[in-house]
Amino acid sequence: MLMQLKGNTVLITGGASGIGLAIGQRFLAAGSKVILAGRRLDKLSEARSAHPEMEIIQSDVGDANQRIRLIEDVTARFPDLNVLVNNAGIQRRLDLTRPEPFDATRSEISINLEGPIHLSMLALPHLMKKKKAAIVQVTSGLAFTPLAFVPVYSATKAAMRSFTLSLRHQLRGSPVEVIEIIPPAVQTDLGGPGHHDFGAPLQEFADDVMRRLDQGETEIAYGFAMQASKASRQDLDAIFQRMNSPAGS
Ligand SMILES: NC(=O)c1ccc[n+]([C@@H]2O[C@H](COP(=O)([O-])OP(=O)(O)OC[C@H]3O[C@@H](n4cnc5c(N)ncnc54)[C@H](OP(=O)(O)O)[C@@H]3O)[C@@H](O)[C@H]2O)c1
């Protein structure tokens, strides 16, 4: 089944910046309705000023009640909703030898893992009624081999990839396509400004993702993430050593 870029109603979590916004801009340009969700109202308003046709909703995907309200609200106001992009995420450096309050750890797990799993489940009954629908999960090359100084982040992405494979399998033959976008390091503010300046240019990455979505690819890995997604166990061990050596960190 081909995912058309036009004529959709697309909800993008974490849509006010970075990869989410870049994808939203392209869906809009292709002729889809775009709804951006995120926590910071100033960032959402900035996105809306640049693209007045976009809808914005303040919502924290790390909070179960807000997730329930988000899907209730969006499906009531935009009954044509047929694409959910689970993009919101945070990345924290964490030295496991220095324990932190578990609330901080749990919040990363809630945003990166509970959020997209719960939102997928909440949206599914609505999406199943559409002729064509999609759930798009934004995972990471780190789902295949962790970067040890972002241990919880890497674990949440590996778990999201696993969930995505199961979801796709369970939804085979249904109107809901399950698509995984697997970015490498991309130049965004993930982890805080300056932490991803070495990554792939955001606009080039987003152009490639949309081109491949349009071609019907369901697993869209890019650059290093493509290499990691196709690597043998032996190659993955070598990548892990390289990435986590003092020079690679
Ligand atoms: N950039 C990379 O190198 C890279 C690589 C692999 C995967 N990814 C993945 O790509 C996705 C997008 O990240 P990005 O690189 O575009 O970074 P980004 O610019 O920091 O975007 C993340 C977005 O998520 C939103 N967000 C964070 N916590 C949220 C919450 N609790 N509820 C709702 N929205 C929340 C943020 O806005 P608010 O803070 O205002 O909520 C922000 O707009 C993430 O899932 C990330 O893990 C990125």
pLDDT in tens, 105-160: 999 999 999 999 999 999 999 999 999 999 999 999 999 999 999 999 999 999 99
Residue 53: give its domain's CATH number.
3.40.50.720
Alpha carbon of 173 to ligand 1 centroid (Å): 31
Q: Is the CB of 61 under 6 A from ligand 1?
A: yes
- Whether residue 204 lies inside any domain: the answer is yes
- Predicted local distance difference test score (pLDDT) of residue 247: 62
Query: Is the C-beta atom of 24 inside 6 A of ligand 1?
Result: no
Residue 165 lies in a domain: yes
The answer to whether residue 223 sits within a structural domain is yes
Query: Is the model's pLDDT at 1 over the cut of 70?
Result: no
- Please give the DSSP secondary-structure letter assigned to residue 98: S
Q: Does residue 144 form part of some domain?
A: yes
Whether ligand 1 lies within 6 angstroms of the CB of 180 is answered as no
Number of domains in the chain: 1
- Residue 105: domain span: 9-248
Residue 205 lies in a domain: yes
Q: Show which residues are catalytic.
A: 153
pLDDT value of residue 194: 87
- The CA 85 to ligand 1 mean position distance, Å, reads 12
Q: 21 lies in a domain? A: yes
Query: Is the predicted pLDDT of residue 63 greater than 90, yes or no?
Result: yes
Q: Which atom, in ligand 1's list, is nearest to the CA of 86?
A: 45
In a domain, 2, yes or no: no
Q: Report helix, strand or coil for 213.
A: helix
Q: Is 116 in the pocket of ligand 1 (CB under 6 A)?
A: no
Residue-wise pLDDT for 80-113, tens only, equals 999 999 999 999 999 999 989 999 999 999 999 9
Task: Kindly write down the DSSP assignment for every residue of 126-180, as one continuous string.
Answer: HHTTSSSEEEEEE--GGGTS--TTSHHHHHHHHHHHHHHHHHHHHTTTSSEEEEE
Q: Tell me which residue has its CA closest to atom 29 in ligand 1.
A: 88
Nearest CA to ligand 1 atom 3: 185
Report if residue 1 sits inside a domain.
no
DSSP 27-85: HHHHT-EEEEEES-HHHHHHHHHH-TTSEEEE--TTSHHHHHHHHHHHHHH-TT--EEE
Angstrom distance (rounded) from CA 94 to CA 156: 14
